[in-house]
Structure 1
Amino acid sequence: MPKFKPVPLGSTVNAARSDPRHWGPKTAGAIAKLPKGVQKFWGIPFEFVTPGSGNDLLVLADDSSVEIAVGAAGSHLVFAHFCDEKASTTVAGQSADYLNPVITAPGEHLADYVVVFEDGSEHRQRIRRRFEINQVQTRMQSGFTSRQHQDLSTVPFRGPYPDNAWGRWQTGVMVGDPPVSGRTAARDDRHGRANPAGSWTIYALELPDSSKKVTNVRIEATGAAAIAIGAITLFSGQNNPLRHLPLESIELEGAGTSADEIEVDVDLGVIARKRNIQHFDGTNWLNSPVKGWGEAPDDPEHIGSIDLAASADATLTVNGSEIEVGPLLESGEAVSNDG
């Protein structure tokens, strides 16, 4: 079974990105800059309808519903979607009332996504603002159960650092592009704070039974705010594809003598660092007749390594050979299928 299967929106698309009538002013402006065509976000491929050929979004601006055919089994339906900035249940005004695009109605119920299985059973998931779906523009208010489409960028935790950014660099990764400076005053960045980069919201809806064929997914909007879907991908795995395990350092034995010689990639994750480290043989160290602190070797052996944060369903590719990340992290070692 393939890991990913794009779900065509087909004839359900009913609006164009260039049509601003469903959206607040900032949302309408940001939609036009969202990625389009064939994309890969957080390692998951998406196939967006190409703008310019008519409608390219599925938009529900009232309490209507629509069904999208799926016709396959999987563990998660992964949506690239977003909602409008205007809210119906806010107690703090509207996003447009603030310089920064503040989310004023977190948790607002905007839709139900109802998964219909071949046996007639259904699975219903509430879609809430800043949880499963989010506004196109936010100011440091990312979703609680979803992600922005911008992938992780690697940053050198040993520096050099932009001013006032040492702490953020210690994670080794960052969502989106790293800032040039950590000291830019608000008065000097009025335009940037008012117009942050727009984002698709990427949400993985977990299916209760991955063995059951999904006939369709029914989108039932509440009408509280307009929502749009740009693409859907069916994922088959054991874990949420957007959830990464903690950062781990992994030795790459047999891949080459230097990290620079190793070609390495991961689909559902990020390689935070690639470097040479001193090879350590724990068994020989324990059996050594020299006890205590030990002795520094005269000619230490080095080996290529990576620092990896990835989903348990990720596949690590080393010099063209594939290694499943889940078994590797669970047992502490793994060998590619081709040896």
Structure 2
Amino acid sequence: MSGGRDLGRWADRLWAAATAGDEQAAVGVARDALDAGVDMEALLLDVVGAVQARVGAEWAANRISVTQEHVVTAVNERVIAALADHPGARRREGSARGRLAVACVDGEWHALPARLLAEVLRLRGWTVDYLGAQVPTQHLVSYLHRTGPDAIALSSSIATRLPAAHAAIAACRATGTPVLVGGAAYGPGGRYARLLGADAWAPDARAAADLLARGLPRRPPAPPQAAGRLPHLDDQEYTLLTRSSADLVRELMDELERRHPAVARYTPRQRQATAEDLAHVVEFLAASLYVDDPELFSGFLTWTASILTARDVPTGFLLSALDLLARRLTGLPRAAGVLAHAREVLCGGLVPAPVPGPGKPE
């Protein structure tokens, strides 16, 4: 395997080709790397994966646009497809270890991390069914009954997808299939994985492949209603917030316009962007209530503030939004606590764990 410095140089070359939108050049870089002796797994994770991670960092710093990050992601997908067909992608083992499924939970469109995992598992000798992005839970269950894989890996990058991930984990566990989860949605150290009933969590593709090689335990099928039950949801705060979210966003937007004359003068495009930001605030508040963790919400707001700052957008409306939400959610004590914690964090009183936001590229 090439050293880290050599891999960095290959990643720089791939970045140059990908940002130029040159698929042929990008595939050529990957093939040249293989010809130079770079290990296929290292090429996938430490070159293609590194370029994809750089997309997120560059977008967050406002050095590339959303369109550009989509271009790079599309090129990376083309590179992965080309590598999958390359003779160097032959399995390292003499025979398949077993059958695995890899999928993104319903509503999760960040598919590239799952695709990288699928290719790494194939390299390591598994037969892998890669099911792609945004797989409805009922389709997952149908697939598991039909094919009976040894385990399923579920990927999710955005914390607002945690309720969908919970439903998918419970449904898969009900079939007796071990569930491995991964992705930023599950929080620092995978803190939400066990909470939601997963059998295991992995921080990256290598760790996931190592875990699966050791084998996940097959537990007796668990009824969906018992798998990862969250007693704190009995207070109905999450349900009440999600049911009223659309009205809440409209009310917040109207109140911001009354409080801040500059907002009232926004163009239609600026209004739409602000309404979308407010919708994300409400969505992440709901996700925080779902897992009963104030740090999820405060981390999202801190991340959002950094994104806005990089774009020279005033961040004061975030505090205004918190105040307005607190006034409208007085009957929800857990929500009030989450909002108070977030205000303290935004005002510099605490340091939250980083939580990626909804605009983070794949």
Q: Is the TM-score greater than 0.5?
A: no
Give 1 or 2: higher strand fraction: 1
Higher radius of gyration, 1 or 2 = 1
Higher relative contact order, structure no. (Cα contacts within 8 Å, ≥ 6 residues apart)? 1
TM-score normalized with structure 2 length:
0.23
Give 1 or 2: higher helix fraction: 2
